[in-house]
Amino acid sequence: MRIAITGASGFVGRAVVTALQQQGHEVVRLVRSRDPAAGTAHWDAATGAVDTAALGAIDSVVHLAGENVAGGRWSKARKQRIADSRGPATLALCRTLASLPKPPRVLVAASAIGIYGDRGDEVLDERSAPGNGFLADVAKAWEAGAEPLRACGTRVVHLRIPMVLDPSGGALQRMLLPFRLGIGGPLGSGRQWVGWITRHDLVRVITTALADERYRGPVLATTPTPVTNREFVRALGKALHRPAFLPAPAFALRLLLGEMSDLLLFSQRPRPGVLPANGFVFDHAQIDTAFAAMFARSERTATS
């Protein structure tokens, strides 16, 4: 296939591009700079305008772009950038793609399990109602932004993504230093549920959803084995051979991070229904073995 991708330079996007090219697909990176490099096409996230001459005819789109929600304290301006980079940007892009002489057959678009809000011990699947709050509202608008493509017959997949794990980037990379220094530990009560997936398995979900017609609508792109925050930090400490008992009280996190502490303290207990029903098997479904595999691979890469 000829596949367009936004967010191609990001933590997940880089791995997706590599996987697609290894599978023999042609990838066109939608970029915001007017970069004349081969294999790119300019995209204006604010207006949705795309350099259609550079884009050419495409079969599919992977849409991963969005402001990093963990990139800094949530000021009013930052929250607006987070929101604008998802719902409005997706809507503008999908309007442009729907107006092409031949719209793409499939759109696989990032969403987030934040759509459920803070749900305590409730088990959540694709049929669960969205929640409330800033992150939930952003994710709802994010998914609604694909409506122009859905209306013209494109198969649309919304991947509700949890914390994505790989030592090379994302949340896990930021955790490594404090844990290696022996100052990692539970956040808040430690009882909040944490959904997770390795980057390796998320890439497999994305490439599967592109090719398999059974995937459409919301898909929980998360392992069926969420853990509590206390279990998560215990497993990470064990993998790094470090203690993981120094707690960070909720009030301190609220004081330090403000509303952004929702990312650390909200509880979501996801149990995917679509992936198991379609026969998807995770390579890493248990947190202990996932950490062991990731760090072993990271060590091999560092010594090669």
- Is the per-residue pLDDT at 253 higher than 80? yes
pLDDT tier, 97 (very low <50, low <70, confident <90, very high otherwise): very high
pLDDT digits (tens, 9 = 90+) for 116-152: 999 999 999 999 999 999 999 999 999 999 999 999 9
Q: Is 174 exposed, middle or buried (0-12, 13-18, 19+ CB in 10 A)?
A: exposed
Q: Is 33 exposed, middle or buried (0-12, 13-18, 19+ CB in 10 A)?
A: exposed
pLDDT at 79: 96
Q: Is 298 exposed, middle or buried (0-12, 13-18, 19+ CB in 10 A)?
A: middle
Does the CA dihedral 8-118-226-189 come out positive or negative?
positive
pLDDT digits (tens, 9 = 90+) for 151-173: 999 999 999 999 999 999 999 99
pLDDT digits (tens, 9 = 90+) for 276-294: 999 999 999 999 999 999 9
Q: What CATH topology corresponds to 2-165+196-223+269-284?
A: Rossmann fold (3.40.50)
pLDDT at 303: 59
- Is the per-residue pLDDT at 33 higher than 90? no
Between vectors from CA 168 to CA 135 and to CA 113, what angle results, nearest 5°?
20
pLDDT digits (tens, 9 = 90+) for 68-83: 998 889 999 999 999 9
Please answer whether residues 125 and 270 qualify as being in contact, where contact means their C-beta atoms are separated by less than 8 angstroms: yes
Residue of 129, 125, 130, 127 lying closest to 140 (CA atoms): 130
- Is the per-residue pLDDT at 35 higher than 80? no
pLDDT digits (tens, 9 = 90+) for 182-217: 999 999 999 999 999 999 999 999 999 999 999 999
pLDDT at 38: 81
